[in-house]
Structure 1
Amino acid sequence: MAQKRADMIAETRGKLIKAARDAFAAKGYAESSMDDLTGQAGLTRGALYHHFGDKKGLLQAVIAQIDEEMMARLSVIIDEASTTWDGFIDESIAYIKMSLEPEIQRLVFLDGPAVLGDPSQWPSQNACIRSTQHSLEKLIDEGTIRAVDTEATARLVMGALLGASLWIAHAADPEAASEKAVESFRALASGLLLTGNAANQS
């Protein structure tokens, strides 16, 4: 019985998140009404309030789902890289370029910050910082980069990536902004390399 109830709860939450994600991506958060969301999911407003509190809570759940997908994609990029340094650079550039994807751009970098506040304070950022810190620690152990405070550097790196992504999302020409951001990030990141490695990694 308990498992059946848990399955029903998960199914209801899943329906609401899918309906909200589709609507927010297509029309934007502000233009999506709760009646439209619940109607599309075949549920009532009461179900939305019960599971998410309000429309804002539903947006949080949608962004959390997208964040998980982004982290999974980035993890694959790290795993497939031939070196730890390549993984660090490729992951960072992929994060920047994700801000060009319409759904991510609108929900994570436009509507999300407007409704939920500073994205650097979102729980997902802590996971990104931990992942970056782990990469930096490995790079130091391998002798690829200079010895730095990995937490401080990870926060600086993620701050730069997040700032670039927000800039791209709001830019008149996102593609051009993305190219500039990637080039500038490569230049900034190269400053971490030990002198003997700089030529080899450029």
Structure 2
Amino acid sequence: MSIVFGAGYEPWEVAGVDEVGRGPLAGDVVAAAVILDPARPIAGLRDSKKLSAARREELALQIRAQALAWAVARASVAEIDELNILQASLLAMHRAVQALQLQPRYVLVDGNRLPRWPYASEPVVGGDDLVPAIAAASILAKVQRDNELVTLDLSYPGYGFAAHKGYPTRAHLQALRALGVTPLHRRSFAPVKSLLADTGEG
């Protein structure tokens, strides 16, 4: 028997929320919130990581055009370093829901943790593959963040941000050692913190 998430609420009363960017060494963590329109369903919604970049872009356009409400928000690198990445992710999700022009009565959040907020809500592990509104939020957040890292690559050449999007790939770690830490880097994350300590900047 399939599980019904948000039972007791109409589809237009329920927002899906997800974040992108907990693992990278650089860049903000970005969250999105989406309330889908049951009268304008969008085919192909699923976990953004399982879609090609081109398909994510196509779906993001559809979501922005057809959803009843959507919003993208973030927590900055400074906030990540101050709060820790989990709390910064929850903060970004809270900001995304607050920014919706149509406020939901119920919120479905990807994962196993909820922000501290006044909304009736529930966490859904694997929600980006189980709940279309969470999948839509996942897509919007990933498209936003990926595009930002592509743009930032122009300001910080040599680090490969357009390719790895800030994640700790071998190429990124090599560039960090060769070129040093940028303002985009999360100084509380172990590889960056270690490098700063080695160079006397920690």
Which of the five TM-score ranges fits, normalised by the shorter chain?
0.3 to 0.5
Q: Which has the larger radius of gyration?
A: 1
Higher percent of residues as strand: 2
TM-score normalised by L of structure 2: 0.34
Higher percent of residues as helix: 1
